[in-house]
Amino acid sequence: DRLNLVFREGLTGVRVIRAFGKANYEEQRFDEANKDYTQTAIKVNTIVALMIPLMTLIMSGTNIAITWFGGHYIAEMQLEVGNLIAFMTYAMQILMSFMMLSMIFVMVPRAQASADRINEVLNTDSEIKDVPNPELLSLKGDKATLAFEHVNYRYQHAENLALEDIDFSAKSGETVAIIGGTGSGKTTLVNLLPRFYDVESGKILLNGKNIKETSQHNLREMIGFVPQKAVLFTGTIRENMQYGAPNATDEEIWQALEIAQAKAFVSELAEGLDSHVEQGGGNFSGGQRQRLAIARALVKPADVYVFDDSFSALDFKTDANLRKALKEQMTDAIVVLVAQRVSTVMEASTILVLDEGKLVGKGTHEELLANNQTYQEIVHSQLREEDLA
């Protein structure tokens, strides 16, 4: 496990390793892990290397002994040839059984170690459980509502709250934008909505119902979610677009692609929606992957669409066009948007300003710019005075 861990880290972090000039250090770390594995492997393989020749020697010796003594008995007319051959066959089968048994004693400990690791994962219970007889949520369209009521959240074994007293509400047609410094709790907040985490105290209400009183599957059917890292699956663009809505038509897919500003480059592909997607979307750029991930979420009918810093790889023009299209088309849903850029959140109905897990500001861009110091600092760090005018 240790060897695999070091090897996997070296592969996934190869750019960072090269950038920091730590190739020699990583080689040394791999060598140390490899030495431990090598010593264990040598012990096991030494036993196997000794056992196989020994068993072969025993089998060959037994065969020679049977042939030798059997030949004498045949010469003295005390044994028939057929009986000798039958005896040799039975003896070899018995010896082969013992050889296989000895191999089992070598393989079973290895298999047991692997099985223990697999069972440890399979037997892990989810900390987030559904209540008995959960309430059923249904799509409300232009009547959808979302409310966080004095929500607190703490990561497991952490001393301090990751989110403290988060309180806001929104309805269909509104955009709630969340902005704040690194580590302020933006992603944590949106991960509470689909119950990737459960609140410590307070309530989250979707369409007037506490999300803890409904099933996780039903809740997530109400939400279109785009994570920070755009993830695409091996297959075609159409298959990826239908991931959350298997019955989506081509017309619906193209409409979602148009809103996500992805229609142009998908149309230019020779096979269009049937174009191949490599593992992780490796045959598309970062911006293209983000737009496809956004389109996939939009294809799915939902009351709430969550974009967790999903515009970060887009240029300003594409970002602006996408936000404009969302505002025009998503009138029957709530949009929750996490962003680092002020330009992305300026036109939101409500902007939430987070600082160290606390909601230090709530309002429109103009309101916060006038009376919220944290928001003012963020704005002035990104925009010039003439841009604000």
**Pair 148, 167: CB distance under 8 Å:** yes
| Longest CA–CA separation in the chain, Å | 119
Four-CA torsion 275, 280, 285, 290, nearest 10 degrees? 100
Rounded to 5°, the CA angle 293-296-299 comes to: 155
Q: Which of 132, 64, 141 is nearest to 95 (CA)?
A: 64
Tell me the pTM: 0.77
**Pair 196, 240: CB distance under 8 Å:** no
How much is the CA Rg of the chain, to the nearest whole Å?
Answer: 32
The beta strand positions in the chain, using DSSP E, are 145-153, 163-171, 175-180, 201-206, 209-210, 223-226, 235-236, 276-277, 304-308, 334-338, 350-355, 358-363
User: Each residue's pLDDT tens digit in the chain (389 positions)?
Assistant: 677 888 888 888 887 787 677 888 888 888 888 887 788 778 777 877 787 788 888 888 888 888 888 888 888 888 888 888 888 888 888 888 877 887 787 777 778 878 888 898 888 888 888 889 998 888 888 889 999 999 999 998 888 999 999 999 999 999 999 999 888 999 999 999 999 999 999 999 999 999 999 999 999 999 999 988 888 899 999 999 999 889 999 999 999 999 999 999 999 999 999 999 998 888 899 889 999 999 999 999 999 999 998 888 788 888 888 888 888 888 889 999 998 888 888 889 999 999 999 999 999 999 999 999 999 888 888 876 655 55
Domains of the chain, first to last: 2-122 (1.20.1560.10), 141-388 (3.40.50.300)
- For residue 55, give both structure tokens: 């068993």
- For residue 250, give both structure tokens: 């081509």
